[in-house]
Amino acid sequence: MSLSVAMFSAQRYDIDSFTAASADTPVTFTFFEAALNLTTCPLAKGYDAVCVFVNDELNHEVLNILAATGVKHIALRCAGFNNVDTAAANALGIVVSRVPAYSPESVAEHTLALMLTLNRKTHHAYNRVRNGNFSLQGLLGFTLHHKTVGIIGTGAIGLATINILAGFGCRLICHDPSPTSAARAQAQARGACYVTMDELYTQSDIITLHCPLTSATRHLIDTSAIAKMRPGITLINTSRGALIDTRAVIKALKQRHIKALGLDVYEQESSLFFSDHSLEIIDDDVIERLLTFPNVLITGHQGFFTEEALDQIAFTTLNNLRDAENKQTGGPGFVVSG
């Protein structure tokens, strides 16, 4: 077997980890820095598979072209697959695979980094002290111990977050419409209680999102959800940007209803994230407004970005490519629409 794969949105670290992992395998990668979209999809001509990431666009039109050029497999090198029209892919006979859990702890730890930084304001303290300003004015935080944290989604990352927060002595409440029995048992063993969404909104001091982006969860956090939250809520999103209605959140920040906002993902991130725009004028007024708030911390989708996760992503993606080639597509890494 020999397999040619066109990787899109390839960054230096992708090239390094996939080149190392594919040595001594029959898989050959060609790396394209460009994202996959309607303009760039002709680049995939002649390849057996494409390997894509969170902001590549695999809508029906793109998939039609990929199918016509002979691509048989879309290998996502991430967990979420909201950017792929899976029904269209399945109808066209294109296999879709992903990396369901490469290091849930990496994202959970980044979630805590956002929570702790916003609360204790270490990002401001770092800059202050470097400028010789040792004043504590404005840096007051709260102890996490005994605070109520609401976890929305108790899959791999939600559970890893629960594990860490249990160590902080937080009161943990969670919501998930369909937790697995193992997840439920694991959450409850850490002292977390399943509650309704409304109970989670009204009781939490901090809310953290760990559910996938679907048509049901798009703008889950909108004006009416925010209105149910306690004034002074800290909101963290390391899942997918469109879980939050960003304009509603900006309004609530201006009204001082939201005390702090930590984002690793952003609704319109595809045109900004993973590249350097520091010498350009950014046209997106929504993210620019967010960046003016002292109580908003944004990172550029780096929750997954640990050495361990990169190794696991490359390893699992290569396994998915091999399994698809052997027609073994029944495993958890394969996405069937429905």
Give the residues lining the site for ligand NAD (CB under 6 A).
79-80, 101, 104, 107, 152-158, 175-179, 210-213, 216-217, 238-240, 264-265, 301, 303-304
Which residue's Cβ lies closest to ligand NAD? 155
Least Å distance between CB 300 and ligand NAD? Answer: 10
Of the pair 41, 157, the CB lying nearest ligand NAD is at 157
Residue 262 dihedral angles phi and psi, to the nearest 5°? -120, 120
What is the number of other CB atoms lying within 10 angstroms of the CB of residue 278? 6
CB of 295 to ligand NAD, least distance (A): 20
Q: DSSP characters for 77-143?
A: SSS--TTB-HHHHHHTT-EEE--S-S-HHHHHHHHHHHHHHHHHTHHHHHHHHHTT----TT-----
Cβ proximity to ligand NAD, 119 vs 217, nearer residue: 217
Give the residue from 210, 295, 290, 292 showing the smallest Cα distance to 258. 295
Of 170 and 265, the one with the shorter C-beta distance to ligand NAD is 265
Residue closer to ligand NAD, measured from CB, 3 or 179: 179
Say if residues 157 and 108 touch (Cβ distance below 8 Å): yes
Known catalytic residue at 269: yes
Burial track 224-237 (b if 16+ CB lie within 10 A, e otherwise): ebbeebbeebbbbb
Residue closer to ligand NAD (CB basis): 22 or 55? 55
DSSP H/E element including 247? helix 246-254
Alpha-carbon distance 129 to 222, whole Å?
37
What lies within 8 Å, CB to CB, of 237 at 6+ separation is: 208, 209, 221, 243, 244, 262, 263, 264, 265
Closer by beta carbon to ligand NAD, 236 or else 260 = 236
Which entry of 57, 240, 267, 325 is annotated as an active-site residue?
A: 240
Among 105, 267, 269, 325, the one annotated catalytic: 269
DSSP annotation of 7 reads E
CA–CA distance, 213 with 150 (Å, rounded to integer): 18
As a residue count, the chain comes to 338
| Residues belonging to the active site | 240, 269, 301
